[in-house]
Amino acid sequence: MQYRNFGTLDWQVSALGFGCMRFPTGGQDPKEIDEPEAARMLRYAIDQGVNYLDTAYPYHGGRSESFVGEALRDGYREKVRLATKLPSWKVETSADFDRYLNEQLERLQTGHIDFYLLHALKKKWWYTLRDLGVREWAEGAMADGRIGHLGFSFHDEYEVFEEIVDSYDWTLCQIQYNYMDIEHQAGTRGLRYAASKGLAVVIMEPLLGGRLVAPPESIQALWDTAAQERSPVAWALHWLWQQPEVSVVLSGMSTFEQVEQNVVVAASAMVGGLKPEELALVDRVRDAYQELCPIPCTQCGYCMPCPNEVDIPRNFEAYNQGRMYEKPDLARRSYEWISEENRASACVQCGECEEKCPQRIPISEWMGRVHEVLGEGQPYPCALP
């Protein structure tokens, strides 16, 4: 296992971290963790040098923390740094800070959480937590030993990210980042900005929720041109480890085989590990994926707000990703996560958005197609007829 600096702390983190959101289950219910197999996976990873575990209050329907607490018995808790997260969207009063933290300590069977993150910060949730005094509360929790260090995970626009970074002396941040998300959310700019401020940067979704694992034939053909053979997973992980600002890359592993493979890949994780021609190949792969994108939406947001509350860019993003990565089921799941009143099905085809769209996208027509494919399960076309 390779190790890297973790912000300004006098501690080295394993290049590969274990994300505790996708353990194997016995069925469709996420709460039904296959505990013997998941424990075998987790302990094997730790035995191979993984020393950073990441969980959160809602993972596996609220079961992840309790399972991790059990799996870290027999001395394994002392071998790792443990991260979990405050469920930001559930906090209503300042009393909730202690209530959730104490519940999580009990679930995890520990008196101390090494890294406590404010989960999935967006502008609205950050302002709520800030105004309720979360920073001052966290200082007290660190003073009494329940928390080691404070951080946040993030899902919003870059400007919000920079504002949050500048608002407190954080130890770490966690961002969604991969070779396709260089300009999405925090992106490369956010990675470098946070690192320049001394924050450790934890990477989530390095494989874009599994979308980069089994690429379409045209994309695989590009990977096959490389002088050194690597799996699509290895390409994605090495592209991240190439960057010195990346502290640790989380992988939400679901099978023992995935753990074994990722541990092997992490053994050669290093800054500057990819040659210039290999980095150029990743750029070509990104461009090729973008060429598979059927709706030329740039996420500029000029079409918003919709008078009928449709989240136009988010609907387009879900549709495009299903086509680009040939993962329609994942796209339909993303569509389900959009609030019903914000889905494409709520479009009344008023046309107001089309007057504002710089790309001249026939948005009203596309909204109907998006719902047919993602909401009603019809097959994917490449474009409007």
Q: Which of 54-68, 270-284, 285-299 has the lowest average pLDDT?
A: 285-299
pLDDT at 385 over 70: no
> 347, exposed or middle or buried, with CB in 10 Å at 0-12, 13-18, 19+?
buried
- DSSP string covering 22-81: ---BSSS-TT-B-HHHHHHHHHHHHHTT--EEE--TTHHHHTHHHHHHHHTTTTTGGGSE
Interval 267-291 mean pLDDT: 95
Interval 114-134 mean pLDDT: 96
**Each residue's pLDDT tens digit, 171-182:** 999 999 999 999
pLDDT of residue 205: 92
Q: Are 175 and 153 in contact (CB under 8 A)?
A: yes
pLDDT of residue 384: 56
Going by pLDDT thresholds of 50, 70 and 90, the confidence category of residue 5 is: very high
Going by pLDDT thresholds of 50, 70 and 90, the confidence category of residue 294 is: confident
Q: Which CATH class is domain 3-282?
A: alpha beta
Helix/strand/coil percentages in the chain, nearest 5: 45, 15, 40
- DSSP string covering 298-358: ----TT-S-TT---HHHHHHHHHHHHHTT-HHHHHHHHHHS-GGGSGGG-----HHHHH-T
User: How many Å apart are CA 186 and CA 245, to the nearest integer?
Assistant: 13
Going by pLDDT thresholds of 50, 70 and 90, the confidence category of residue 191 is: very high
Going by pLDDT thresholds of 50, 70 and 90, the confidence category of residue 382 is: low
Going by pLDDT thresholds of 50, 70 and 90, the confidence category of residue 367 is: very high
**If we measure between CA atoms, which residue out of 322, 311, 321 comes closest to residue 344?**
311
**If we measure between CA atoms, which residue out of 107, 158, 164, 161 comes closest to residue 134?**
164
pLDDT > 70 fraction of the chain, expressed in percent and rounded? 99
Interval 285-312 mean pLDDT: 88
Structural domain boundaries in the chain:
3-282, 312-375
